[in-house]
C-alpha cells in the first residue's frame, strides 16, 4: 500500500451525519458481499444473512450513540470551544512520540494519548472518561503506556479522530509509573531500542519499526522513499506482522505434532502477546480478531473463511469503538484485507505470462494497492506508480526482519549480547527493504500527481473498477474458449450407437455456467459426454 494504516489516524471528512454514513456504507457493503458470496443453500435464505447484517449495523449505531452521549455528558464541548485551562488526570494509552517542530528542527515535542478519568476546570472536577491528545515540550521521561499522569494545560480542538480534544500541556507529572504487563512491555520495547542503537542508520530505525512499530529513529530519506513507493505499511505493524507470528508459531506446533487444542492455545497466546507488545492499534486488533476467529475454527475442527472473519472483526471493533469507522488507518486496513481476499485470486489467474509463484506474489500488493488508492488520494493527491514492484521485491525480507527482531526483543532482558546479534541479523534484512525503497523512489514517475479530494478519489475508484472488470472479462473469455475446446473433444461420438443426439447433448453443456464460486472467478467445469444409450 502507499501508506501505513497507523500513519493516517485522522478523521474522514464530515460531521455527525458523515459519521453515521461512513459507518452505514461499509456495513451495507459487507452485507451485500456476504449475501453474494454465500448464496442461499437448501434450508437457508438470504433473508437470514441480511437480518444478521442489519443486527450488526444496529449494534454499531447504538454503540456510536452511547459513546456520543457519554462524551456530551462530560461537558468537554464548552471547555474546548473556550480553550479553557484545565487539569486532567488519567492513564497514558500510548507511548510518547517525539518529533521535531516543523519551524524549529532543534526543538521537539512529545505527543501521547491519555484516557482522562477526571478534568478540573474553574474549580469544578468532573468525571469524563475521555481520550485526550497531549503534547508537551521534550523530554518526556516516564511517558509509557499504562503510566498515571496529571496534566496542566489548555484544552482545544483536534483533527485526530477518536480523541475528545487536544491538551497543550505546560506541566506533566507522572503520578504512578507503568506496572504489571505495561511495565514488562515497556522493558521489552526499550531493550530492543537499546540492542539496535549501534546499528547503521536504516537498521537503527527500521528494526524497531518493523518489529514493534516504533518509527521514531527511521531516517527522513528512508521514510520518504518508503512513502513514495508504498512500503510504509511494513512499519505500521499491521496484519502482515500478525500473519508472520501466526505462521511461525503454527509451523512450529505442526512440526512438534502438537494436538489441535494445544496448537490453538499456542496461536491465541502468541497473537495476544504480540498485540500487547506492539500496542493494540486498529489494524493490529483487526488482524488479531481475524486470527481469533481462525483459532475458533481450529478448535471446532472447521476451516474459517477470511471474508466472514473480516466482517466479524470489523463489527466487533466498531461496537467497541465506533470512532474507528471514520479513521483513515482502519479504513485502509479493512480495504486492503478485503481486496486481498476477494481480488488476489482473480488477479493471479489473469497473470498468465508469469509463473504461478510470481503471479501470486504480484497479485497481493496489486489487490491491496487498488483498494487503498482511492482512500489515499484523500490524504495525499499522488499515486505510487512503483508500489507493486517495490512490495514484490521487499516481500522476501519481511519475514526474517520481523522474526529476528521479535527474537531480539525477547532476548534483550536475558542477554543483551544475543539481542544485539539478532538485531544485527534483522538489520541485514531491513537493509534490503531500505535499498528497494530508495532505488524505486529514484526511478522516473515514482510519485505522480493526482486530483485531490473526493473528485480524485471517485475518478481513481472508477478507473480501478474498470480495470478489474476488464480482468474479469478476460478470465471469462479464456475460460469459455477452454470449455469449448474440452466440450468439443469430449462430446465427440465414441461408437456407432452413440448417435448425433448424444453429440448435441454434450455440446449443449458447454455454456457459461457459474462464474462465481465462493468469491473467486473460476471457469465452468468441463462438459462431460453422455454415455451411449442402450439399444
Q: Tell me if 155 sits within 8 A of 84, measured CB to CB.
A: yes
Distance, first Cα to last Cα, the chain: 65
Per DSSP, 102 falls in state T
The three cell numbers locating residue 321: 469503538
Provide the 3-class DSSP secondary structure of residue 69.
helix
The three cell numbers of residue 95 are 507511548
pTM tops 0.75, yes or no:
no
CA torsion sign for 296, 302, 304, 308 is negative
pLDDT tens digits in sequence order for the chain, 535 residues long: 544 444 444 444 333 334 443 444 444 444 445 444 444 455 455 666 666 767 777 777 777 666 666 555 556 777 888 888 999 999 998 888 887 776 666 678 899 999 888 888 888 888 787 888 999 988 888 899 999 999 999 998 877 766 788 899 999 999 999 999 999 999 999 999 999 999 999 999 999 999 998 888 899 899 999 988 988 888 877 777 888 888 888 888 888 888 888 888 888 888 889 989 988 876 677 777 776 765 565 555 555 567 777 787 888 888 887 777 777 778 888 888 888 888 888 888 888 788 888 888 888 888 888 888 888 888 888 888 899 999 999 999 999 999 999 999 999 999 999 999 999 999 999 999 999 999 999 999 888 888 888 888 899 889 888 888 887 887 778 777 777 777 655 554 444 433 333 333 333 333 333 333 333 333 334 444 444 444 4
Q: Which helix (H) or strand (E) holds 32?
A: helix 16-37
User: For residues 187 and 199, what is the distance between their CA atoms, to the nearest angstrom?
Assistant: 20
With beta carbons less than 8 A apart as the criterion, state whether 86 and 121 touch. yes
Of 47, 39, 42, 49, the closest CA to residue 517 belongs to 39
**Residue 306 belongs to what H/E stretch?**
helix 306-320
Q: Are 28 and 357 in contact (CB under 8 A)?
A: no
Residues 47 and 135: their CA atoms lie apart, in Å, by 50
d(CA 25, CA 53): 12
User: How far apart are the C-alpha atoms of 469 and 275, rounded to whole Å?
Assistant: 38
**Comparing C-alpha atoms, which of 88, 220, 96, 60 is closest to residue 166?**
88
In angstroms, the CA 210 to CA 173 distance is 31
Q: Which three cell numbers stand for residue 236?
A: 505500521
Q: Could you tell me if 10 and 159 are in contact, meaning their C-beta atoms sit under 8 angstroms apart?
A: yes
- For residue 99, CA distances in Å to 96, 103, 401 come to 10, 12, 25
| Cis upstream peptide for 139 (omega within 30°) | yes
**Grid coordinates representing 356?**
504461478
Amino acid at each position: 500500500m502507499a501508506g501505513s494504516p497507523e500513519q493516517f489516524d485522522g478523521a474522514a471528512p464530515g460531521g455527525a451525519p458523515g459519521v453515521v454514513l461512513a459507518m452505514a456504507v461499509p456495513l451495507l457493503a459487507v452485507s451485500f458481499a456476504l449475501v453474494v458470496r454465500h448464496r442461499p443453500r437448501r434450508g437457508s435464505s438470504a433473508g437470514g444473512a441480511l437480518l444478521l447484517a442489519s443486527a450488526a449495523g444496529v449494534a454499531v449505531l447504538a454503540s456510536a450513540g452511547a459513546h456520543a452521549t457519554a462524551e456530551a455528558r462530560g461537558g468537554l464541548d464548552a471547555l474546548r470551544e473556550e480553550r479553557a485551562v484545565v487539569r486532567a488526570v488519567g492513564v497514558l494509552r500510548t507511548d510518547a512520540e517525539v518529533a521535531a517542530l516543523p519551524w524549529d528542527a532543534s526543538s521537539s515535542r512529545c505527543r501521547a494519548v491519555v484516557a482522562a478519568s477526571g478534568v478540573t476546570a474553574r474549580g469544578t472536577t468532573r468525571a469524563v472518561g475521555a481520550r485526550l491528545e497531549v503534547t508537551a515540550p521534550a523530554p518526556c521521561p516516564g511517558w509509557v503506556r499504562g503510566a498515571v499522569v496529571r496534566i496542566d494545560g489548555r484544552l482545544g480542538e483536534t483533527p485526530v479522530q477518536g480523541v475528545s480534544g487536544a491538551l497543550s500541556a505546560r506541566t506533566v507529572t507522572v503520578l504512578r509509573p507503568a506496572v504489571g504487563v505495561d511495565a514488562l512491555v515497556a522493558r521489552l520495547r526499550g531493550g530492543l531500542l537499546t540492542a539496535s542503537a549501534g546499528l547503521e542508520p536504516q537498521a537503527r530505525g527500521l528494526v524497531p519499526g518493523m518489529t514493534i512499530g516504533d518509527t521514531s529513529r527511521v531516517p527522513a530519506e528512508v521514510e520518504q522513499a518508503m512513502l513514495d513507493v508504498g512500503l510504509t505499511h511494513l512499519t505500521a505493524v499491521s496484519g502482515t506482522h500478525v500473519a508472520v507470528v501466526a505462521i511461525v508459531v503454527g509451523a512450529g506446533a505442526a512440526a512438534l505434532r502438537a494436538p489441535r487444542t494445544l496448537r490453538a492455545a499456542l496461536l491465541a497466546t502468541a497473537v495476544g502477546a504480540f498485540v500487547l507488545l506492539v500496542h493494540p492499534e486498529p489494524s493490529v486488533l483487526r488482524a488479531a480478531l481475524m486470527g481469533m476467529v481462525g483459532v475458533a475454527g481450529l478448535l471446532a475442527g472447521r476451516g474459517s473463511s477470511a471474508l466472514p472473519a473480516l466482517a466479524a472483526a470489523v463489527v466487533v471493533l466498531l461496537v467497541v469503538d465506533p470512532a474507528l469507522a471514520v479513521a483513515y488507518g482502519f479504513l485502509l486496513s479493512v480495504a486492503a484485507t478485503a481486496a486481498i481476499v476477494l481480488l488476489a485470486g482473480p488477479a493471479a489467474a489473469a497473470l498468465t505470462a508469469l509463473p504461478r509463484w510470481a503471479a501470486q506474489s504480484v497479485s497481493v500488493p496489486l489487490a491491496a494497492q487498488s483498494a487503498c488508492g482511492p482512500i489515499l488520494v484523500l490524504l495525499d493527491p499522488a499515486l505510487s506508480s512503483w508500489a507493486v514492484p517495490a512490495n514484490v521485491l521487499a516481500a522476501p525480507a519481511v519475514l526474517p526482519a520481523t522474526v529476528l527482531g521479535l527474537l531480539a526483543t525477547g532476548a534483550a532482558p536475558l542477554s543483551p549480547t544475543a539481542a544485539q546479534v539478532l538485531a544485527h541479523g534483522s538489520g541485514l534484512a531491513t537493509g534490503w527493504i531500505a535499498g528497494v525503497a530508495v532505488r524505486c523512489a529514484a526511478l522516473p514517475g515514482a510519485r505522480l500527481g493526482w486530483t485531490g479530494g473526493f473528485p480524485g478519489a471517485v475518478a481513481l475508484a472508477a478507473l480501478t473498477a474498470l480495470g478489474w472488470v476488464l480482468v474479469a472479462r478476460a478470465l471469462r473469455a479464456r475460460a469459455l474458449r477452454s470449455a469449448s475446446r474440452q466440450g468439443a473433444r469430449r462430446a465427440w461420438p465414441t461408437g456407432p450407437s452413440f448417435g448425433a443426439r448424444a453429440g448435441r447433448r454434450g455440446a449443449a453443456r458447454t455454456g457459461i455456467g457459474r462464474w462465481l464460486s465462493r468469491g473467486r472467478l473460476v471457469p465452468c467445469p468441463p462438459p462431460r459426454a453422455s454415455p451411449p444409450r442402450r439399444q
